[in-house]
């Protein structure tokens, strides 16, 4: 079945059953954008997650005396590399 025939049949069916539809041609850019939106909905905003990590590091330092927190990022683009936490109570046990 050709694309135009399919669209015509879909249009006739939607009119007969009283519902609206929008025919959208699927291309790579639209599919990529859809994937990005779905990932953001599923996993949350990347920059917001990083802000939460910085908040957690500050909260640990403010509420756990003797704790050590290191948040490491790449120097050239400031992307997350690793996060290390040693709580003060645990460091006393190791001494």
Task: Say if residue 40 is in the same domain as residue 8.
Answer: yes
Answer whether residue 59 shows pLDDT above 90.
yes
Supply the range of the domain harboring residue 72: 46-95
Task: Say if residue 23 is in the same domain as residue 50.
Answer: no
The total of structural domains in the chain comes to 2
Answer whether residue 83 shows pLDDT above 70.
yes
Between 69 and 21, the more confident residue is 69
Task: Say if residue 32 is in the same domain as residue 63.
Answer: no
Task: Say if residue 57 is in the same domain as residue 81.
Answer: yes
Tokens 């990932």 found at: 39
Task: Say if residue 37 is in the same domain as residue 61.
Answer: no
What DSSP assignment string belongs to the chain?
--HHHHHHHHHHHHHHTT---------HHHHHHHHHHHHHHHH--HHHHHHHHHHHHHHHHHHSTT-EEEEEE-TTT--EEEEEEE-HHHHHHH-
Task: Say if residue 60 is in the same domain as residue 84.
Answer: yes
Contacts of 89 (CB under 8 A, 6+ apart): 64, 66
Identify the band that residue 70 occupies on the pLDDT scale cut at 50, 70 and 90.
very high
Task: Say if residue 14 is in the same domain as residue 40.
Answer: yes
Task: Say if residue 33 is in the same domain as residue 70.
Answer: no
Task: Say if residue 93 is in the same domain as residue 71.
Answer: yes
Identify the band that residue 2 occupies on the pLDDT scale cut at 50, 70 and 90.
low
Task: Say if residue 14 is in the same domain as residue 28.
Answer: yes
Tokens 């992307």 found at: 79
Q: What is the mean pLDDT of residues 2-8?
A: 74
């Amino acid at each position: 079945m050709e694309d135009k025939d399919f669209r015509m049949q879909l249009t006739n069916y939607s009119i007969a059953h009283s519902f609206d539809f929008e025919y959208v041609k699927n291309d790579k850019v639209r599919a990529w954008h859809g994937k990005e939106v779905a990932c953001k909905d599923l996993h949350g905003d990347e920059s917001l997650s990083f802000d939460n990590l910085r908040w957690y590091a500050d909260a640990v330092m403010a509420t756990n005396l003797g704790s050590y927190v290191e948040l490491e990022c790449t120097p050239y683009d400031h992307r997350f590399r690793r996060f290390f936490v040693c709580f003060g109570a645990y460091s006393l046990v190791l001494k």
